[in-house]
Amino acid sequence: MNKYFIENLLSSIEDKKIAVVGDLILDSYIWGKVTRISPEAPVPVVQVRNKTYCLGGAANVMKNIVSLGGEAIAFGITGTQHAGHHFLSLMKDSGINIDYLTIDKNYLTIEKQRIIAESQQLARVDYEDTNTVPEYINDYIVSNLKELISAKTIEAIIFEDYGKGLINSEMLSSILDYANYYGVVTALDPHPNRKLLFKGITVATPNKNEAFALAGKYNNDLIDPPAKDPCLCEVAKIWEKEWGVEQLLVTLGSKGMVLYEKDKEPLHIPTKAKEVFDVTGAGDTVIAAYTLSLIGGAKPPQAAEISNHAAGIVVGKIGTSAVTKEELIAEFQD
């Protein structure tokens, strides 16, 4: 692939619509400088310089889709408190379609607050109550997604599960059958502690830990070459048999990723990251870039390589980040 292929692909995905269903998170960052050790406890004292907010969780998938030229339609829930207002403002500023977003005054917007000093994360503070996801939201999401599918408004659906309670087996099963009938691409980024029951999804993008945990297998050390690792190959077969996954893209951190397709040899794509500063949200970028590439006409190996380049870009940034069209094209200049 070269930059002309990427430019044509990005041109073909302009304004293509993808529905993203998942746990919405506000990522906040407190930036400062360590000035001394506290006399109250052996912890650093951080002098705060700045505080910033960005979209996290499934919302970061949406942001990546928009920054690459597609249209993201948000399905999820947020609240109306202080964090909720910040979150909604960021969604609007990012150009994400929030027509189907649920705003509930009784729901506590999930916020992950990170304290950063000298480019190092010192601590993270989480604000959440996962027991507050209302029961009505399941039927709301399923019925509206079915309308968008039957109207041929969307070309793909991404399910981004951060384990906060929004996505469940009933929701997935109801949508997958319908989406498959209409030829809509479906993708899942799973959570290792939530083994969902479903059958027949286009692509799943777990990391190695998630892939092994959900397959019920011990997570062995990786054997080189990764595409020939017998344990990883066994896990891929379990995913294909148990969940009907057509394409399994397992991310391996510094080892890149491996793509498994039915009746084809596994394909290893080495990492493209030049420097790694922060892996936060890298999986969001992978599933966004891969799904966009598929609906833009790329074959699975091409989509995997593109998503690998995209992930390599975002891990070189500090904080939850999205990849841009210009950054992706620049990766293929040579």
Structure confidence at residue 224 (pLDDT):
87
Number of domains into which the chain is organized:
1
Count of beta carbons in the 10 Å neighbourhood of residue 59: 31
Cα dist from 103 to 86, 98, 133, whole Å: 13, 10, 11
* Domain-embedded: residue 192: yes
Structure confidence at residue 277 (pLDDT):
58
* Domain-embedded: residue 36: no
* Domain-embedded: residue 41: no
Q: What is the Cα gyration radius of the chain?
A: 20
Give the residue ranges of the chain where pLDDT is below 70. 273-280, 319, 334
* Domain-embedded: residue 42: no
Quick check: 20 and 282 in contact, CB under 8 A? Answer: no
The gap from C-alpha 321 to its chain's centroid, in whole angstroms, comes to 11
* Choice among 93, 278, 284, 334 that is catalytic: 284
Cα dist from 292 to 40, 177, 315, whole Å: 51, 21, 20
Cα dist from 27 to 22, 57, 125, whole Å: 15, 8, 10
C-alpha angle 39/42/47, rounded to 5°?
A: 70
Listed residue (210, 205, 208, 211) closest to 286, CA to CA? 205
CATH code (residue 289): 3.40.1190.20
Structure confidence at residue 3 (pLDDT):
87
Structure confidence at residue 95 (pLDDT):
97
Structure confidence at residue 258 (pLDDT):
97
Distance from C-alpha of 174 to C-alpha of 164, rounded to nearest angstrom: 20
Structure confidence at residue 319 (pLDDT):
67
- Placement of tokens 């993708």 in the chain: 187
The gap from C-alpha 209 to its chain's centroid, in whole angstroms, comes to 15
**Phi, psi angle pair for 185, to nearest 5°:** -70, 135
Q: Which domain holds residue 138?
A: 3-25+57-109+129-331
* Domain-embedded: residue 46: no
Structure confidence at residue 274 (pLDDT):
62
Listed residue (112, 64, 70) closest to 87, CA to CA? 112
* Domain-embedded: residue 31: no
Write the CB contacts of 223 (distance below 8 Å, at least 6 apart in sequence). 229, 230, 231
Structure confidence at residue 275 (pLDDT):
63
Q: What is the pTM of this model?
A: 0.94
Peptide bond into 225 cis (omega under 30): yes
* Domain-embedded: residue 281: yes
Is the torsion defined by CA of 147, 153, 158, 160 positive or negative? negative
Structure confidence at residue 280 (pLDDT):
67
Distance from C-alpha of 130 to C-alpha of 164, rounded to nearest angstrom: 5
**Is 284 annotated as catalytic?**
yes
* Domain-embedded: residue 115: no
Polymer length of the chain:
334
